[in-house]
Structure 1
Amino acid sequence: MAILIRGTILYRVRDLVADLGGDGEAVLRRYGIDPVATDDFARYVSYVDAAAVLGHAARQLDCPEFGLRLGLLQGVESLGPLGVSLRNAETVGAAVGNVCRFLGNIAPADTAELIEAQGPAIYSYSTMLHDEFDRRQMVEKNLTLALLAFRLVAGEDFTPIKVTFQHERSAPRDRYRDVFGCQVAFGQEHNGIHFPKAYLGRGVRARDQAALELAEEYLGRLRPSVALAEHVREVTRRLLLGHEVGLRQVAQALSVHERTLQRELAASGTTFERILDEVRKAMAWELAATGVQAAQIARALGYAEQSGFTRACRRWFGESPRTLIRQRAGEPPEQPVGHVRPAG
């Protein structure tokens, strides 16, 4: 099954590629990614393809530290609601806990863990990507983001004891020290940031409790497959209003392949056809209350013939479109031909 992730995993990748003398849009399109998706948290891309973009750029532009540089360029804002939850947590420990708790909800191939055994605390990160070189770039980017997150919540003076990577070194050793400001070791047990436990109890300044609660509520409800189905529903509704909707158009809007979208929806227990039917039903109910004619509703829902809408309306509501419109408008039911109202 393909792994999908938010398009902002590649936030500002075009800028970095351009700075290095390349064509960012061309690199993205090479791997089937719509450049617009990289700026939109609501869009999805293939995680494997996103990692391939990093690996390709690092090779072709002779920039082995590409992942490090992209992490610095993206900043914590690329984390969307996860960034909101950590910057408004009560303590540094609570912020790290939110990342460990919710990371998989927005990046299903990734996991994070806070290890508090003997010695320093360790923020440990791992990913399910298989390509060795691409994985290195993604891991280095995401540990760079983790460092920026620590400095955001713990203060600019935050300096790890050391940073470790499971893979072997890709870039010059000095580049890692420049980014992390500490000893960096390779071929280790964890992709991790090792730091004094005392930081965990440090309070986060200028936090907003209401923002934290909203972010946690959103992230708590978010599951990768459920989230995708909801976004398909939103995109389908939007495209219906433009009178052009189908699996191909929705897949393009989400920056995923049609077959990938079908597989992901099946994994979440639904299909595009079912979602389209549900969206049409909800829109029919809403439009009927406005008093517009049945033919107008049929066109708004993308039916080539009004008869298709009529059949669907009877299946959804057990009524003809005309009867539904009268009921939703608060009008009395039509009387059968020949019927005489009683006097009085």
Structure 2
Amino acid sequence: MTRISAYRLRHAAQVYGREPAAALGFDKILEAVGVAPDVLADANGRVDLQREAAALETACDALQDPTFAARAGLASPGAKTLLAYLAQASDNVGQVFRFAQRFYALEDPDLSFELDGDEHHPTICLKSDIIGAHQFPRHREFLVFGLLKRTEQIAGPGFGQMSVLLECDDTDHCATLAELAGCEVSSAQKASGIQLPEDGFDFPIATSDAALRDHLLKHGEERLSQMPKSRTGMSAKVIELVRSRLPGNLPSGDEVAEELCVTRRTLTRKLSEEGTNFKSLVETARCDLAKRLLLGTDSIAQVAFLLDFADQAAFSVAFKRWTGATPAVFRKSKL
């Protein structure tokens, strides 16, 4: 898995350190998820996305406060990255997010933006091929509320009211987050992200600078051209292979190892080094596909069959463990 800058984790550690209930040091949290604490003191420090996500989840557990991750996102300072400077030089908010689609891989190759809705009612959703929102829900809230905060910073005053979309089915938790953020937070959504105000894409950026933008775009394209054409992490390879077999018979760990030309022990070791395991990646692939199938015309029994479950009951138990809702409740909430 591609390693990303530790700046987000460094910010979360700073917010955590101000928590009155923080009895467990953040260094212990990092050690628990396999991250060397000294990465926070290194301006060029890098971590795996999965370990960043696990650290946010563990911090919430240590504080016994599921809102910590969202609060840390809302406390995000202005970023000092190429994409942040490019956003400030953009003509309007729509251009900001189109540049984000193009260049966010420079900051985090395992996350991406998807523009949903139409030009008049735009929605920005976060996507990942490596971890699903059901796997690390608090981490996804950290990212989404950070996106909300950074959009407010870039757009400036007068932009209008935004709202947050979460896949979380806990309405009480979402209501608490709504109070913290001062905006509507909708639960049980098909993806996590933010809803911009009507015609939000057309809102002008006060700091627009065409000359600077052209210079940054050229620099960004040069950096993109130097990036590897594809991820070589074992996690990405496993996810891709499992998805290629679904719907259908689920491959075993031994079969995946053989197809990837490694021993099962090597597969287990490499996945552990990337902060994950075979079972977790299989569940991620199954859960993501289950959500898409449930939004179609297939019956729940058919979805269970397509995902290689023994029966509908076994699928329902697994789906509720992944998402907190039964397949029937999930499907009804999306209609």
For Structure 1 versus Structure 2, the TM-score category normalised by the shorter chain is 0.5 to 0.7
Match status 1:222 vs 2:223: yes
Asked whether the 8 Å contact 2:121–2:195 carries over to 1, the reply is: yes
- Structure 1 residues 175 and 192: CA distance shift in structure 2, 3 A: same
Q: Shift of the alpha carbon at 1:214?
A: 4.1
- Structure 1 residues 134 and 16: CA distance shift in structure 2, 3 A: farther
Q: Which amino acid aligns with 2:16?
A: V
Asked which structure has the greater RCO (Cα within 8 Å, sep 6+), the reply is 2
Match status 1:177 vs 2:178: yes
Asked whether the 8 Å contact 2:159–2:203 carries over to 1, the reply is: no
Q: Shift of the alpha carbon at 1:118?
A: 7.6
Where 1:102 maps in the other structure, the secondary structure is: helix
Structure 1 residues 1-344: aligned runs within 5 Å = 2-20=1-19, 21=22, 22-38=24-40, 42-77=44-79, 80-117=81-118, 120-130=121-131, 135-160=136-161, 162-169=163-170, 172-223=173-224, 226=227
Give distance in 2, aligned partners of 1:165 and 1:65.
13
Q: Shift of the alpha carbon at 1:133?
A: 6.1
Where 1:109 maps in the other structure, the secondary structure is: coil
Q: Deviations over 1:158-201 (max 9, x none)?
A: 34453211233387334321344332111112212122342212
Q: Shift of the alpha carbon at 1:48?
A: 0.8
Give distance in 2, aligned partners of 1:10 and 1:89.
27
Give distance in 1, aligned partners of 2:207 and 2:119.
32
Give distance in 2, aligned partners of 1:109 and 1:72.
22
- Structure 1 residues without counterparts, runs of 5 or longer: 228-257, 264-344
Where 2:75 maps in the other structure, the secondary structure is: helix
- Structure 1 residues 162 and 226: CA distance shift in structure 2, 3 A: closer
Moved more, 90-99 or 177-186: 177-186
Q: Which amino acid aligns with 2:3?
A: L
Q: Shift of the alpha carbon at 1:59?
A: 0.8
Q: Which amino acid aligns with 2:60?
A: A
Give distance in 1, aligned partners of 2:59 and 2:122.
34
- Structure 1 residues 61 and 74: CA distance shift in structure 2, 3 A: same
Asked whether the 8 Å contact 2:167–2:191 carries over to 1, the reply is: yes
Q: Shift of the alpha carbon at 1:203?
A: 1.6
Q: Which amino acid aligns with 1:19?
A: R
* Identity of matched residues, %: 17
Q: Deviations over 1:269-315 (max 9, x none)?
A: xxxxxxxxxxxxxxxxxxxxxxxxxxxxxxxxxxxxxxxxxxxxxxx
Asked whether the 8 Å contact 1:161–1:194 carries over to 2, the reply is: yes
Where 1:123 maps in the other structure, the secondary structure is: strand
Where 2:151 maps in the other structure, the secondary structure is: helix
| Pairs aligned (count) | 231
Where 1:86 maps in the other structure, the secondary structure is: helix
Asked whether the 8 Å contact 2:121–2:199 carries over to 1, the reply is: no
Q: Shift of the alpha carbon at 1:110?
A: 0.8
Where 2:127 maps in the other structure, the secondary structure is: strand
Q: Which has the larger radius of gyration?
A: 1
Q: Which amino acid aligns with 1:46?
A: D
- Structure 2 residues without counterparts, runs of 5 or longer: 229-268, 275-335
- Structure 1 residues 40 and 137: CA distance shift in structure 2, 3 A: farther
Give distance in 1, aligned partners of 2:119 and 2:94.
17
Q: Shift of the alpha carbon at 1:36?
A: 4.6
Asked whether the 8 Å contact 2:75–2:146 carries over to 1, the reply is: no
Asked whether the 8 Å contact 2:133–2:167 carries over to 1, the reply is: no
- Structure 1 residues 171 and 27: CA distance shift in structure 2, 3 A: farther
Asked whether the 8 Å contact 1:3–1:108 carries over to 2, the reply is: yes
Asked whether the 8 Å contact 1:71–1:141 carries over to 2, the reply is: yes
**Residue 319 of structure 2 aligns with which residue?**
none
User: How much is the aligned-residue C-alpha RMSD, in angstroms?
Assistant: 3.2
Give distance in 2, aligned partners of 1:124 and 1:114.
6
Where 2:169 maps in the other structure, the secondary structure is: coil
Where 2:99 maps in the other structure, the secondary structure is: helix
Asked whether the 8 Å contact 1:5–1:46 carries over to 2, the reply is: yes
Give distance in 1, aligned partners of 2:134 and 2:144.
16
Q: Shift of the alpha carbon at 1:23?
A: 0.8
Q: Which amino acid aligns with 1:175?
A: T
